[in-house]
Chain A
Amino acid sequence: MDINRILLPAVMMDKSAINEIINCNELTSRYGLTLSQTAALKLVETRAEALSSNGRIEFSGGIINKIILAFSNSPFLSQSNYSTTLNELIEIFYYFKNETLDEISDDELISLMKKYFDQSCQGSIELLQNRELVALAHNIRYGISDYAGLCEDTDEAFDEEIFDE
């Protein structure tokens, strides 16, 4: 049975997704961040590509809105890098849903991404992807209870230097 064969109304889903993204502008405009119709469409396309390349399927409205709303108050986002960053965040999100073995919820992953992005990564997508989220995924795979590395003193938390070796 080919599941993709029955998932026909993607166009319908896309339309409503774009509308939902545009509606977010009302809330994000207070931070000087807005998305055009074209940018919204690009986000939806990025999501479709990320889902496909990571072998995932999404049914509800998805996480684009959640990412937009979570990241809109980041001091490292401006109108000039807003759209590009969102596209990258969407790609990273689905990649790490797989890498974290679906062990953490959408909301928790987004909230951790935002926390790392604003704090330890200082707005760097590369550090977020290659350092913080790799460590998070490693900790989850090895069953470390403080997988998010929030308790600095814990011995079992992932050690960056050891991992780099």
Chain B
Amino acid sequence: MDGPAGAAGTPAPGTPAPAPAIETTGLSKHFGKVPAVDGIDLHVPVGSVFGFLGPNGSGKTTTIRVLLGLLNPTAGTWMLFGRPMPQASMQILPKVGALIEGPAFYPWLSGAQNLARFDAAGPDGDRPTRRARIDLALARVGLTAAAGKKYKAYSLGMRQRLGLASALLRPRELLVLDEPTNGMDPQGTREIRHLIQELAGDGTTVFLSSHLLSEVEQVCTHVAVMSLGKILAQSTIAELQATGARRLAVETVQVSVAATVLERLGLTDLTIEGDAISARLDGQAPEDCCRALVDAGVGVRSLTTVRPTLEDTFVALTGEGFDVAR
């Protein structure tokens, strides 16, 4: 196998593209008759920061549990770094750091003792370097001062940080982070975002499950949207946003005239707010709209096109916003 954090970097020119960090084929997990995950094909390229989005109850955490070998899939197969799972678990999982459904540690042990406990529990937990690795991981998440404190005395945000420290204890090629900023204050959220960007910069693939769309928008290169156990969209973040409906935003004092012109051009979903008017472009070229407005004598102060935010796209795709899917 590759050395620590080896394969995750950008490949040298001329070498074949590395196997995806995560690849699933028709992966399904049913609980009784309910399909929690329903035949998904995920493709997470090496080196990407992959945002895994979906409303609560859409099957994100179940997917993560299957990927990490905690649940047996009902159907389908999956591979991590090109190795079939779960057969290759003992070789692949040591390279995977995970935060699954919040942190979990032994309340009667201190933060540092907990990290040592988990480090000792599996392969690659080199003992001579353990102390130093624990100190470094705690420093990276800002927990050095609380290292000797019992876990039960930790606040929610500190627990989350310790969970991240555990995921960073050894060099990783893949980080699977399920809602990593849960329970953190804005400062902590920003720190985690920087940490993720730093790790991604080192070539670590990050699989980030979240419902905080702005968070995903800021750090992710790729995104998949899941709802009711199915993947609704999967692409780079730029491609996904390009599929959403672009809007035209015009600023003018003659809003009513402008509205008539735009409606005549076939633009829909008009909204007027003071001197601003906005409408769905629906394939119309913005320059044609501009010309039509000027020809109609509308004094155009500004005219821009607005890309949909990830949230707009997300709501358009899932149709249900943030409500619990089931």
Q: Do A and B bind each other?
A: no
B interface residues with partner A (beta carbon < 8 Å) = none
Q: Which residues of A contact B (CB under 8 A)?
A: none
